[in-house]
Amino acid sequence: MSHQLVIVLDFGGQYNQLIARRVRECGVYCEVKSYKTPIEELKKMSPVGIIFTGGPNSVYKDDSPAYPKEIFELGIPILGICYGCQLMAHLLGGKVTSAVTSEYGKTETYYDKSCEIFGGAKNLPQKAISWMSHTDYIEKIPDGFKVTAHTDCCPTAAMACPERKLYAVQFHPEVNHTEYGSEMIDSFLKNVCGCTGDWTMGKYAETAIKNIREKVGDGKVLLALSGGVDSSVAAALLAKAVGDKLTCIFVDHGFMRKNEGDEVEQAFEGWGLNFVRVNAKEQFMSRMRGVSDPETKRKIIGEEFIRVFEQEAKKIGKVDFLVQGTIYPDIIESGTGDAAVIKSHHNVGGLPDHVDFKEIIEPLRMLFKDEVRALGRELGLSEVLVDRQPFPGPGLAIRIIGEITDEKLEILQDADYIFREEIAKAGLDKNIHQYFAVLTNMRSVGVMGDGRTYDYTLALRGVVTTDFMTADFAKIPYEVLEICASRIVNEVKSINRVVYDITTKPPATIEWE
């Protein structure tokens, strides 16, 4: 790779992904590697800087993660964070021990601005808040180092040995709670490592395309396209790289939102790839008749998806590579070496294990969701695809409570379309992380014109969340809800009542089934 590389050496901390992200925000390419990565391998990668992450252990315990001391002799600038800071002190002859008072949370910190990192951190005052999380502390710094920051409880909140380009901070500059933390990281990268900060998504795309081309050669590539952001961006990248050697199989199970199947297809028109849309609605629907149990629905859809995918894959013949849209947050055990294997057979809607392919390509595995979106834009994908909110694999099948019929599907598609349209019109689409309609299985009495109606109740759901593990209901203004309710009962047949779901997750879930 031609761009400057920074390695984040992972000692098992909680914020390792965040460090990687901050580095990329500074315009510097970075990769996270396990502390188990042999030093020879690291050397071969020629990094311009290394960042040691935090971690849950105590450096003085025998079985704690460590690294060969030789790493400090390579002349490569190193920044140690938290555990990484203590490890640096420990390995270089300092003393780390359990602190009388552990520090946790926002802590007033005093900085020595003559240190390159702090001096170069834009606008950093001599005293600012840092975010601490440690029970051990550095009692004695190694020879040749000097203390560059302290707090009221912690004598060594930061230390440095500029001659050897070694720097370390006890606090976490990568979290937002540390004031000017990003600026400190930027200063380390630019002032110490000499990074130019010219890495962009465009460059990421260029490099990825080149690498994919080299790897694929004349081989055949298969991709299961769901129409979701990740698989769409992966498809766009592969299309640029290998053109018609790629076949995308888009299984339209018939439970997509209104116009969605066509939108996905249109988005890939003119990309010069073999795009196979399998309209399998009848196949799926025939298996859903009489089924109302949520788990059974999910299971049937999962199985049928695999069946359709296999049928289509067989037509293509021997495939050399399978592409997966795995992204960074999907990789649970980052850098353990097992991660790729764990992901091989999941994440693409339960792809079959035995599709005959040689290797898996995961071109997005280093990126966060918003970076994936940025890459999608860079590659020219339509906003409709790039900005999509999460959509469950089983689609509207789990948003129709009870048995699914063609009629109910159409009702839900129309109502959901109006809801999405009004949310966008009100300018709320960027702030509500997921919003959709659910067709309940309940009918109630209403009056329309001069007549009695006995129709379905539609539920609207909108949530705000950071990780989709917990969620709050979105505080959509009443006026917007009022327009939605009025339009839906007027424009969609068979709905005479609209309710808004105001439960949080937990105890509810985001989806209703």
Side chain identity, residue 42: L
Q: How far is the CB of 500 from ligand XMP (least distance, A)?
A: 17
- Give the whole-angstrom CA distance, residue 139 versus residue 162: 20
Contacts of 127 (CB under 8 A, 6+ apart): 108, 109, 110, 111
In eight-state DSSP terms, residue 269 is T
Q: How far is the CB of 367 from ligand XMP (least distance, A)?
A: 18
Q: Which residues sit at the interface with ligand XMP, rule CB under 6 A?
A: 390, 392-394, 434, 468, 505, 509-511
Beta strands in 86-225 (DSSP E): 95-111, 127-140, 146-151, 158-161, 166-169, 221-224
Side chain identity, residue 190: K
**Residues 314, 284 contacting (CB under 8 angstroms):** no
Considering beta carbons, is residue 150 or 505 the nearer one to ligand XMP?
Answer: 505
Q: How far is the CB of 392 from ligand XMP (least distance, A)?
A: 3
Considering beta carbons, is residue 277 or 505 the nearer one to ligand XMP?
Answer: 505
Give the residue carrying structure tokens 């991709």: 223
- Residue in 30, 85, 116, 172 annotated catalytic: 172
Q: How far is CA 190 from the centre of its chain?
A: 26
Q: How far is the CB of 92 from ligand XMP (least distance, A)?
A: 46
- Residue in 82, 154, 195, 248 annotated catalytic: 82
> The tokens of 291 are what?
């089924």
Residue 172 annotated in active site: yes
Residue 82 annotated in active site: yes
Q: How far is the CB of 359 from ligand XMP (least distance, A)?
A: 24
Element (H, E) at 421: helix 406-425
- Residue in 103, 116, 174, 312 annotated catalytic: 174
Considering beta carbons, is residue 229 or 476 the nearer one to ligand XMP?
Answer: 229
Q: How far is CA 218 from the centre of its chain?
A: 31
Q: How far is the CB of 347 from ligand XMP (least distance, A)?
A: 9
Burial class (CB in 10 A: 0-12, 13-18, 19+), 445: exposed
Q: Left, alpha or beta for 244 (phi > 0: left; psi -120 to 50: alpha)?
A: alpha
- Give the whole-angstrom CA distance, residue 284 versus residue 306: 12
Q: What DSSP string runs through 59-100? A: TTSTTS----GGGGGS---EEEETHHHHHHHHHTT-EEEEEE
Residue 346 annotated in active site: no
Q: How far is the CB of 433 from ligand XMP (least distance, A)?
A: 8
Q: What DSSP string runs through 314-374? A: HHH---SEEE----GGG-SSTTSS-HHHHHHTSSSSS--TTS--SEEE-TTTT--HHHHHH
Considering beta carbons, is residue 170 or 226 the nearer one to ligand XMP?
Answer: 226
Q: How far is the CB of 63 from ligand XMP (least distance, A)?
A: 37
Task: Find the angle CA(462)-CA(466)-CA(470) to the nearest 5 degrees.
Answer: 70
Considering beta carbons, is residue 287 or 505 the nearer one to ligand XMP?
Answer: 505
Side chain identity, residue 112: D
Q: What DSSP string runs through 445-467? A: EEEETTEEEEEEEEEEEEEE-SS
Point out the residues that are catalytic.
82, 172, 174
